[in-house]
Structure 1
Amino acid sequence: MSPTVAVLGTGIMGSGMVRSLLRAGLEVTVWNRSTDKAKALADDGATVADSAAAAVRGADVVLTMLFDADAVADTMGPVLPEMGPDAVWAQCSTVGVDGTDRLAGLAAEHGVAFLDTPVVGTKQPAEKGELVVLVSGPPDAADQAAPVFEAIGSQTRRVGDDPGSASRLKLVVNAWLATVVNGVAQSVALAGDLGLDPQLFLDAISGQALDSPYAQLKGSGMVDGDFAPSFALDGVLKDAGLIREAAGTAGTGTGLLDAMIEKLRQASSDGHGEQDAAAVVEAYRAR
């Protein structure tokens, strides 16, 4: 029997995940603090709840996709008593190492099975059900939630039996993502400042070992000035802070992270925070 699913948080990522769940034939109830974002999913077949508590009642799997650990804790803390004794909480938001420990502890206080399940991918993979789902937590809970992961992702990577391992891996992945975005931004800005057409840079690396689909995607947005968000710059900035925190605890050098965070902060303070991360290019251009 297919699990019933509650999705709390229907922003760029959450809404795409909901549509993927519905395409897979799962029964989905949604909630979002901004109700308009949730109501838009009713036309796709989702049931829209008027509260987070109403959304989680009767759900077999509760999926959270919110901005940070505080938002998740504020949402889930009051509603955990509403979850059934066999329900599973799959926490997909990127909240870092300490945030995951905090949320796992909150779940344990209420006797709720907790899975640490951040996802790799942005807007388009979420819409297409092609995310990579990183999972750590009790194997029986992971088995129960497996149909949910199969609906939202093309791959499920089981990282460990204890919550936290998946979030650590997500930070590693997002460190690379931030490096690619900032590296492409610097080269696109440099090309323009040297009097070149920045498209020449993307053409020069196309199909070479230096190339990647993500570099071309973000680079094209930078060249065209198209910053429609698939991963908002402020989200990358938040994640970069979590990565630096984890790296500092682990003793890993943070020089590159420090430089990237400086540019992300500059772009955010210049008004690009809600735009796509590609907008960081504006912080690299000559002034």
Structure 2
Amino acid sequence: MNFTEYPVTKDNNMNTTTPTIAVLGCGLIGAPVARNLANKGFKVKVWNRTAAKALALVQDKLQACASVAEAVSDADYIVTVLKDGDSVASAMAAGSGHFRPGAKWLQLSTVGIDAAASLAQLAGQQQLVYFDAPVQGTRQPAEQGQLIILAAGPQAGREGVQTLFDAIGKRTLWVADEAGQASRLKLALNNWAFTLTHGLAESLALAKGLGVDPALVVDVVSNGPMDCAYFQLKSAAMLAGNYTPSFSVANAVKDSRLILDAARQAGLYAEVAGAGLHRFERALAAGHGDKDMAASFLAPDLPA
């Protein structure tokens, strides 16, 4: 597989005809994506199933729409930033008959292998040009326009698409021409992030269970070969009990299941991913679904 990385250029100069962008989904990632696009001069129309979230974004060059059809009717680009494949498919079905033929669809949600394929087929049926483009990064990188975009899609039209990616991210990795390849890469990356989260959470929990101050674990690792920014960020959250969501436990459960489905399709036995899913599910069952995935630390112990 060939990887081509395109440099990001932050240029506020727009073409004479400013493209209209429909952003479907105004959650932790979708809302800052819409704001950053508007701040770069694009005309942005937003829709969200919970209308209040869309209305909260209204500003110059950013319009809230009451329906998907209203949002996409004159859009040159459609950007989906929704929870899962079913949510994306449902939203796009609601726009059926209102899309501009040839409009470009940038699918930023993490949907897994099967949904990525079915959404690509849906794009063809709706006469849309499909770009499979899940993003790496959570709320803070999204707010700062520092997402990493994993993109797959046809060579034709990439230049315009890249302009949008530059408005929301610091780096774009073009993975392949074939839609779906970027979604596959995203699952591998999420598996790594979840593994780091659980390893840290379990290590701090083990120290606590053994009567050792968990902060000592962080102290020993800091500034050593095992240290990294992610370790510092999540350990600080766990020790402080601050679970303000950047990426929720509920979403982590969804993505962990997608990872295991992908592993099965690849003929792999992903025992670490399976154990991680069980830990997230325990945290979810304990009422921590809306908390940041650092709440893996709060997963209750299994009965003896």
1:233 aligns with 2:241: no
Unaligned 5+ runs, structure 2 = 1-14
2-structure distance, mates of 1:188, 1:252: 29
2-structure distance, mates of 1:119, 1:138: 18
The 3 A distance-change label for structure 1 pair 285 and 195 is: farther
Q: Match of 1:157?
A: 173
**2:299 match: secondary structure:** helix
Q: How many residues align?
A: 287
**1:3-18 equivalence runs, <5 A:** 3-18=19-34
8 Å CA contact 1:119, 1:133 repeated in 2? yes
1:104 aligns with 2:117: no
**1:157 match: secondary structure:** strand
Q: Aligned-pair distance for 1:284?
A: 5.8
What is the CA deviation profile of residues 25-47 of structure 1, one whole-angstrom value per residue up to 9, with x for unaligned ones?
21111000001111110147511
Q: Match of 2:89?
A: 73
Q: Aligned-pair distance for 1:97?
A: 0.5
2-structure distance, mates of 1:202, 1:24: 40
Q: Match of 1:144?
A: 160
2-structure distance, mates of 1:49, 1:38: 8
8 Å CA contact 1:97, 1:164 repeated in 2? yes
How big is the alpha-carbon RMSD for the aligned residues of Structure 1 and Structure 2? 1.4
1:171 aligns with 2:187: yes
2-structure distance, mates of 1:127, 1:224: 23
Q: Match of 1:268?
A: 284
Q: Aligned-pair distance for 1:141?
A: 3.1
8 Å CA contact 1:135, 1:142 repeated in 2? no
Amino acid at match of 1:213: A
2-structure distance, mates of 1:143, 1:114: 14
2-structure distance, mates of 1:117, 1:80: 21
Q: Aligned-pair distance for 1:285?
A: 5.8
1:208 aligns with 2:224: yes
1:251 aligns with 2:267: yes
2-structure distance, mates of 1:242, 1:272: 20
2-structure distance, mates of 1:206, 1:37: 39
Whichever structure has more helix as a proportion of its residues is 1
2-structure distance, mates of 1:19, 1:118: 18
1-structure distance, mates of 2:211, 2:249: 27
Amino acid at match of 2:257: G
8 Å CA contact 2:41, 2:61 repeated in 1? no
Per mean C-alpha deviation after superposition, the further-off stretch among 70-79 and 80-89 is 80-89
Report percent identity of matched pairs.
41
Q: Match of 1:125?
A: 141
- The TM-score normalised by the length of structure 2 is 0.91
Q: Aligned-pair distance for 1:286?
A: 8.6
Amino acid at match of 2:192: W
Match of 1:86 among 102, 105, 111: 102
1-structure distance, mates of 2:134, 2:223: 30
1-structure distance, mates of 2:219, 2:51: 43
Per mean C-alpha deviation after superposition, the further-off stretch among 21-30 and 100-109 is 21-30
1-structure distance, mates of 2:94, 2:300: 43
Q: Aligned-pair distance for 1:224?
A: 0.7
